[in-house]
Structure 1
Amino acid sequence: MNDHEDGPDAGHRRPDGVDDLTVEALGSLSKALETTERARGHLYSFHQLTGGADLELDRSVRLLREAGHREWADRVEAEILGRNVIPGHWTFQVVEAYNATYYRPFCELEREVVSALAQGRDHLYEAEMKEARRTSGHPDHTAGPPAARA
């Protein structure tokens, strides 16, 4: 099989009538969404790390009391343990607001744009970049996994 027959699978081929600038724009939109996915992951890290710190405060309060520092234990317990991270919000509420206000609408709009402009085909920009960078005949430069080429 030569490299022309072994190109991207149908789901990664540019539909007829889709121009270079549209493929580039869709690639940029995809990159922005991928960056948002990373940001969302960091938000979950913030959520879990803050929750873990709050749970560790239980130990700190207990140890301060055992060490005879009841006043400090009481202050940590009253002022920090269970405190909102921003007014009215624990971290789970920050995550929920982010998901509802930004993340889900972004995902939905990205899907609409890709469906309308590229027949729902993802990663056209990257697939074309891969084709341009593959080494003809090299076994580690195939267009896709064996099942995708079949």
Structure 2
Amino acid sequence: MDRVDQPAPEHQRPEGVDDATVAAVGKLSEALETVERARGHLYEFHQLIGSSDAKLSEAVSALRDCDQDELADTIERELVGRNVIHGRWTFQIVEDFDDGYWSCVREHERRARDQLLKGRRHVFEAEMKERERSVRDDGSPLPGHEATPD
């Protein structure tokens, strides 16, 4: 029996697009999602290093408070504010990543979707959802298995 509710048009396969194309674009989108996760970790790294540097400054003050000025001076001079990678603080690493690799991956994934799926996103996943949804005998979805939020 036909399903009563259907996926939103922006998640439906364009006419004439074969399974292999949907799967290929799905893999490309999955790769982008993995890059997005890596980007999140990079931002976390950026914030953790910033927090670490602030704690180093606190440690320098604490060392001075207990009359360890020579050690405090050495740590302050050689470690506080130090580049994480030659010539770079983490904000520069993040900017290079965003302007380079991340932007390039996003552009290629978008271009593939535009050329092959009329710009539609998550067609592979939407079809998987459609295959896995549970429906009643009359084709209506079981609660929690609706095609869209409407």
Q: CA deviation at 1:3?
A: 5.3
Letter in 2 for 1:34: E
Cα deviation 1:66-122 (Å, max 9, x = unaligned): 111111101110111000000000000000011111001111111111000000000
8 A Cα contact 2:53 2:81, kept in partner: yes
TM-score by length of structure 1 reads 0.93
Q: Helix, strand or coil for the counterpart of 2:148?
A: coil
Q: Please tell me the root mean square deviation across aligned C-alpha atoms, in Å.
A: 1.1
- Matched with 2:20 is 21
Unaligned runs of 5+ in 1: none
- Number of equivalences: 145
1:73 aligns with 2:85: no
Q: Distance in 1 between matches of 2:64 and 2:107?
A: 51
- Matched with 2:147 is 143
What does residue range 1-150 of structure 1 map to in structure 2 within 5 Å? Answer: 4-137=3-136, 138-146=142-150
Cα deviation 1:97-149 (Å, max 9, x = unaligned): 11111001111111111000000000000000000000013121111101xxx
Letter in 2 for 1:107: R
Q: CA deviation at 1:28?
A: 0.6
TM-score by length of structure 2 reads 0.93
Q: Helix, strand or coil for the counterpart of 1:8?
A: coil
Q: Distance in 1 between matches of 2:51 and 2:143?
A: 47
Q: CA deviation at 1:5?
A: 3.6
Q: Distance in 2 between matches of 1:67 and 1:25?
A: 63
Q: CA deviation at 1:4?
A: 2.5
Q: Distance in 2 between matches of 1:3 and 1:124?
A: 20
Structure 1 outlier segments of 4+, above 2 Å: 2-5
